[in-house]
Amino acid sequence: MRRSNRPDIIIEKNNQVVMILDAKYKRYKTLGSTSKEPYAVSRDDLYQMTTYLYHYGKSDKPIYGIFVSPAIYELEHNSFHKIGLVNMEIEKAENDVKKLGELEKVFVGRIENLLKVFES
């Protein structure tokens, strides 16, 4: 039996995958070279994202792999493949629904800004 190679969210433009979003329920704050760094994306999660990029990406077209976690950081390992981290720091809402809505707008804005690379 084959394992599925399917991330949480795939964003396409003109029938080409341009962004892969993988939700993590971890306190990631940085993309580090090792998982020993506090709150750094683990080696296993980076390997998983790299696998998604190579599976869905074209060798000569840009594609982003984004970890979504409860700041934006980028790690480039190929000029067309970028891995980033976009957090929505829900703890800042402190049970305030209005503040949560504001944080959500900021989060969506970060994703929209990343997608502007694919406008043309």
Give domain status of residue 1, yes or no.
no
How do residues 39-72 score in pLDDT, each as one tens digit? 778 888 888 999 999 999 987 888 989 888 764 4
Specify the number of domains making up the chain.
Answer: 1
Q: Which residue has the tokens 């994306």?
A: 41
Q: Residue 66's closest CA among 105, 109, 110, 32?
A: 110
* 84 burial type by CB count under 10 A (0-12 exposed, 13-18 middle, 19+ buried): buried
How do residues 74-99 score in pLDDT, each as one tens digit? 555 666 777 777 777 777 778 788 88
Which strands, in side-by-side order, build the sheet including 9-13? 9-13, 16-23, 63-69, 81-87, 72-78
Domain coverage including residue 42: 9-118
Bridge-based pairing of strands 16-23 and 9-13 is antiparallel
Q: Tell if the pTM clears 0.75, that is, is over it.
A: no
Q: Residue 73's closest CA among 57, 64, 85?
A: 85
Give domain status of residue 51, yes or no.
yes
Give domain status of residue 99, yes or no.
yes
Q: Six-digit token pair at 21? A: 């979003």
